[in-house]
Amino acid sequence: MHKPKTINELLKTGGQRLTSLVSQTRQRNVALKHVRAALPGELAAVVVSAGIDRGVLTVGVAGSAWAARLRYATDILRERVGDAAGIAILGVRIKVVPPR
């Protein structure tokens, strides 16, 4: 019987789907860092996810009140995250995500 592979081994030797998933996860983590860096402390703390797809920045926050406040910062996000990522952000979507 073969010894099961660890998660790290699977990620290193994974197929195309797994490699793509790892790449997407890294890109989303970078986007999240850029978004948090672009916002004041209390707003940055409630951002739980971020991603950029075809020029649209999607930001997930932990509550509708925070989402409403964040909507006032979309111009700042578009400019700062676009500059940091080196791409044009054409639009920003704010989503309320359930707590983990």
**Interval 44-84: pLDDT, tens:** 999 999 999 999 999 999 899 999 999 999 999 999 999 99
Domain assignment present for residue 19? The answer is: yes
- Any idea what the CATH number is for the domain that residue 75 is in? 3.30.300.20
Would 1 be classed as within a structural domain? no
Question: Could you tell me if 89 and 55 are in contact, meaning their C-beta atoms sit under 8 angstroms apart?
Answer: yes
Number of domains in the chain: 1
What pLDDT, on a 0 to 100 scale, did the predictor assign at position 54?
93
Whether the CB-CB separation of 52 and 31 falls below 8 Å is answered with yes
Residue 13, domain member (yes or no): yes
d(CA 19, CA 2) in angstroms, rounded, equals 23
Q: Give bridge partners of residue 50 from the DSSP assignment.
A: 59
Structural domain boundaries, residue 73 = 7-96
Q: Is 2 a member of any domain?
A: no
Q: Are 67 and 35 in contact (CB under 8 A)?
A: no
Q: What is the pTM of this model?
A: 0.78
Q: Identify which has the larger pLDDT, 7 or 58.
A: 58
List the 47-53 sheet strands across, edge first: 47-53, 56-61, 91-96
Report pLDDT digits (tens) over 12-31: 766 777 777 777 888 888 99
